[in-house]
């Protein structure tokens, strides 16, 4: 039966009822959804200092890599992105491939942490975590994996403490901030971070998160929810969707003095590349990085453009250095099927080959 406008009324009514049925089923699934499980790979808390916690994952193999690897994640999100669900876990994959992993959890800064600086995070927490691993394992060096902003911190750390780092792996890491690509990099140049820090002390994570969503507003605030409607009657898809939502909105507040220096010295003045950056009175010279380097970037990264990451290989003195790209976006580096099939195996093999 067709209307005067040529619309198939019977077909339209059926589609409307199907959508309504799927929506009601989706509501039922959401109401009965069990607690969203993330960060499920077994690990032990081995060291803590203030809000920083150092975890050691239980090895999956009888003879794991003899040089342990410390993962340093960004301050702006939670590290369980790398262990978001069992079948899409970079952590689990690396353990199965024979790595011995530690990870730093920065926790959730509060007003008492407003004066924490990059010096506290790098010369303090990261260095203390590395020292704990070295002393407890009676070894001289660790491998470092730095992720996003954690990669910038790991790069700075490696330049200040090269004798403690066996190899450095950076993932989607901003290094050169004086680039033309990337909306975040353009905002960073003009952001009045001094006024924000003076006003808030600790920058709210929700404010940061809203800024990140504005980088891709249609995709992150509309398109994904429209796409969700197609799968609302699938419990597993909905569970995975809710895991990602949990991570996206689980944004820690940011210690004011740290983000002040990060924006002013790096986004605005590009001091890391210029060789004028100082952290805790120590000058950061990227030429001090002489250990093997694996620099991994995402070809479709809207947060950290490839140009920013790729610059690192030309700034270090390492003779053994490799630049590797994958055709994924920033988040796809951790949760995509390519990540599980290609990225984690590449990292594990490279680290093991450089830990003999």
Q: Could you read off the pLDDT of 210-260 as tens digits, one per residue?
A: 776 777 766 666 676 667 777 777 777 777 777 887 888 888 999 999 999
Confidence of residue 2 (pLDDT cuts 50, 70, 90): low
State the average pLDDT over residues 37-50. 93
What's domain 43-354's architecture? 3-Layer(aba) Sandwich (3.40)
Question: Picking from 1-10, 253-262, 285-294, which range would have the lowest pLDDT averaged per residue?
Answer: 1-10
Q: How far apart are CA 100 and CA 190, in angstroms?
A: 42
Q: How far apart are CA 355 and CA 255, in angstroms?
A: 35
In sequence order, the 6+-apart residues with CB closer than 8 A to the CB of 155 are: 146, 168, 170, 173, 175, 272, 286, 289, 312
Q: For tokens 């004066």, name the residue.
A: 115
Q: How far apart are CA 154 and CA 137, in angstroms?
A: 21
Confidence of residue 188 (pLDDT cuts 50, 70, 90): confident
Q: What's the pLDDT at 27?
A: 66
Closest CA to 299 of 172, 155, 174, 149: 172
Q: What is the DSSP letter of 270?
A: -
State the average pLDDT over residues 113-135. 98
Q: Would you tell me how many other CB atoms lie within 10 Å of the CB of residue 71?
A: 25
Task: Delimit the domains of the chain by residue range.
Answer: 43-354
pLDDT at 266 over 90: yes
Bridge partners of 70, per DSSP, are 102, 144
Where in the sequence numbering do the catalytic residues fall? 148
In sequence order, the 6+-apart residues with CB closer than 8 A to the CB of 329 are: 298, 300, 301, 302
Half-sphere exposure of 198 (CA within 13 A, CB side): 4
Q: Could you read off the pLDDT of 56-113 as tens digits, one per residue?
A: 999 999 999 999 999 999 998 899 989 988 888 999 999 999 999 999 999 999 999 9
Q: What's the pLDDT at 332?
A: 84
State the average pLDDT over residues 102-131. 97
324 close to 310: Cβ distance less than 8 angstroms: no
Please state the φ and ψ torsions of residue 301, each to the nearest 5 degrees.
-80, 120
Q: How far apart are CA 234 and CA 41, in angstroms?
A: 25
Backbone region of residue 6 per phi and psi (left: phi > 0; alpha: psi in -120 to 50; beta: other values): left
Q: What's the pLDDT at 245?
A: 79
Q: How far apart are CA 279 and CA 289, in angstroms?
A: 16
Q: How many residues does the chain have?
A: 356
Query: Is the whole-model pTM more than 0.75?
Result: yes
* Burial of 311 from C-beta contacts in 10 A (0-12 / 13-18 / 19+): buried
């Amino acid at each position: 039966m067709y209307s005067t406008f040529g619309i198939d009324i019977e077909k339209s009514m059926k589609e409307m009822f199907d959508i309504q049925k799927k929506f009601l089923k989706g509501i039922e699934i959401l109401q009965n959804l069990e607690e969203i499980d993330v960060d499920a790979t077994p690990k032990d808390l081995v060291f803590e200092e203030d809000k920083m916690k150092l975890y050691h994952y239980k090895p999956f193999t009888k003879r794991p890599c003899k040089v342990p690897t410390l993962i340093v994640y960004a301050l702006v999100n939670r590290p369980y992105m790398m262990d978001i669900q069992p079948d899409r876990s970079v952590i689990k994959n690396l353990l199965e491939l024979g790595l011995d992993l530690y990870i730093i959890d920065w926790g959730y800064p509060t007003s008492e942490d407003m004066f924490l600086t990059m010096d506290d995070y790098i010369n303090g927490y990261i260095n203390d975590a590395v020292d704990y691993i070295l002393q407890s394992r009676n070894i001289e060096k660790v491998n470092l994996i730095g992720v996003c902003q954690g990669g910038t911190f790991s790069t700075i750390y490696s330049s200040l403490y090269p004798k403690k780092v066996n190899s450095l792996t950076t993932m989607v890491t901003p290094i050169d901030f004086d680039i033309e690509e990337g909306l975040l990099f353009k905002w960073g140049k003009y952001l009045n971070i001094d006024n924000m820090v003076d006003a808030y002390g600790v920058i709210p994570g929700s404010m940061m998160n809203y800024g990140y969503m504005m980088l891709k507003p249609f995709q992150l605030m509309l398109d994904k929810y429209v796409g969700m409607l197609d799968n609302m009657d699938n419990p597993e898809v909905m569970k995975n969707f809710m895991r990602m939502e949990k991570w996206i909105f689980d944004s820690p507040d940011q210690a004011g003095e740290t983000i002040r220096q990060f924006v002013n010295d790096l986004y605005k003045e590009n001091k890391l590349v210029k060789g004028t950056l100082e952290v805790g009175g120590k000058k950061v010279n990227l030429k001090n990085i002489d250990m093997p380097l694996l620099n991994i970037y995402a070809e479709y990264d809207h947060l950290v453009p490839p140009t920013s990451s790729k610059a690192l290989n030309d700034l270090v003195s390492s003779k053994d250095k490799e630049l590797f790209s994958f055709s994924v976006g920033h988040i796809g580096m951790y949760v995509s099927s390519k990540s599980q099939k290609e990225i984690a195996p590449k990292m594990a093999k490279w680290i093991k080959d450089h830990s003999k």
